[in-house]
């Protein structure tokens, strides 16, 4: 029993130590964002890596998610003779929940892992220490461009994923469920309101921040050479996934009860 409580206490302390480290990095990042000069080319480079290079996988996941939603929803709606509501369900599900969360998980698994591996390799090869020697702040040089790129590009990717997902549902609804194209589109856009769209986009802003901060924090605190880089990359992805799901639950409850 004593050993169990000791382990539990150590894990609790490690969790709060980790949370404190990420929070400290967050405060440093916000400070350095407003300190000139701002290297725009580094931000655009990261935006390309995170946004443009992720379009293919986001397209595939969004398209098939919309198609699967249409097929699964049709199973119940046909029993109720309410096939016309399939378009509404798909649009709301994608814009409010599935679009933001799935896009964030994709980016976390793809770009977040890459960020941790890249910065972690720089840490173990003492390139981060070299930046300090040259009077260059590592947070300003490494974290800020990735933080801004993820914060701005994740909402853009989410909008794209929502549109592709709605198109996937449209393909199934029109070609397999005998819903007329005009009726499907009218039902989709009549159902959506600004609140549905913006609640999803607000989530993605915070998801992008979480991905950037956790990925960079893990990369800057790598220990143990190449093996340490692998462990930190794994920890980065797993931790980011958990925080995204927890944050999504929090924001969903917040928007439901207060807005």
pLDDT of residue 257: 83
The reply to whether 35 falls in a domain is: no
Is 31 within the bounds of a domain? no
Instruction: Specify if 87 maps to a domain.
Output: yes
Residue 18 lies inside a defined structural domain of this protein: no
pLDDT in tens, 155-209: 999 999 999 999 999 999 888 888 888 888 888 888 888 888 899 999 999 999 9
Residue 152 lies in a domain: yes
Q: Is residue 86 part of a domain?
A: yes
In sign, the C-alpha dihedral spanning 61, 66, 67, 69 is positive
CA–CA distance, 183 with 83 (Å, rounded to integer): 11
- Whether the full predicted model's pTM is greater than 0.85, yes or no, is yes
Domain span at 200: 40-251
* Tens-digit pLDDT profile for residues 224-242: 878 889 899 999 999 999 9
The dihedral formed by the CA atoms of 213, 246, 194 and 72, expressed in degrees to the nearest 10:
120
Give the separation between CA 59 and CA 157, rounded to whole angstroms: 9
Inside any domain, residue 19? no
Separate counts of helices (H) and strands (E) for the chain: 12, 0
CA 34 vs. chain centroid, Å, equals 24
Residue 81 pLDDT level (bands cut at 50, 70, 90): confident
The verdict on residue 15 lying in a domain is no
Q: How many domains does the chain have?
A: 1
């Amino acid at each position: 029993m004593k050993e169990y409580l000791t382990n539990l206490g150590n894990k609790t302390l490690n969790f709060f130590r980790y949370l404190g480290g990420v929070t400290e990095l967050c405060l440093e990042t916000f400070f350095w964002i407003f300190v000139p000069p701002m290297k725009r080319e580094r931000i655009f480079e990261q935006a390309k890596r995170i946004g443009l290079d992720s379009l293919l996988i986001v397209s595939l996941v969004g398209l098939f998610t919309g198609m699967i939603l249409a097929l699964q929803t049709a199973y119940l709606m046909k029993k109720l003779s309410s096939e016309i509501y399939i378009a509404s369900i798909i649009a709301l599900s994608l814009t409010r929940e599935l679009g933001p969360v799935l896009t964030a998980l994709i980016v976390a698994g793809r770009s977040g892992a890459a960020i941790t591996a890249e910065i972690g390799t720089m840490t173990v090869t003492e390139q981060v220490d070299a930046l300090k020697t040259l009077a260059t702040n590592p947070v300003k040089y490494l974290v800020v461009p990735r933080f801004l790129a993820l914060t701005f590009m994740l909402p853009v990717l989410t909008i794209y994923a929502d549109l592709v997902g709605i198109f996937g549902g449209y393909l199934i609804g029109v070609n397999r469920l005998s819903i007329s194209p005009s009726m499907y589109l009218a039902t989709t856009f009549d159902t959506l309101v600004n609140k549905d769209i913006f609640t999803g986009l607000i989530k993605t802003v915070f998801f992008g921040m979480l991905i950037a901060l956790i990925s960079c924090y893990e990369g800057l605190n790598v220990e143990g050479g190449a093996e340490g880089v692998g462990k930190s990359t794994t920890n980065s992805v797993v931790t980011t996934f958990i925080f995204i799901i927890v944050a999504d639950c929090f924001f969903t409850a917040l928007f439901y009860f207060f807005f």
